[in-house]
Amino acid sequence: MNLLEGLSLLIAVAMAVYLLTALLRADRS
3-class state of residue 6 by DSSP: helix
Report domain extents, the chain.
1-29
pLDDT confidence of residue 29: 76
pLDDT confidence of residue 18: 98
Each residue's pLDDT tens digit, 1-29: 699 999 999 999 999 999 999 999 998 87
pLDDT confidence of residue 27: 87
pLDDT confidence of residue 15: 99
pLDDT confidence of residue 28: 82
Neighbours of 3 (CB within 10 A): 7
- How many Å apart are CA 29 and CA 18, to the nearest integer? 17
pTM of this structure: 0.67
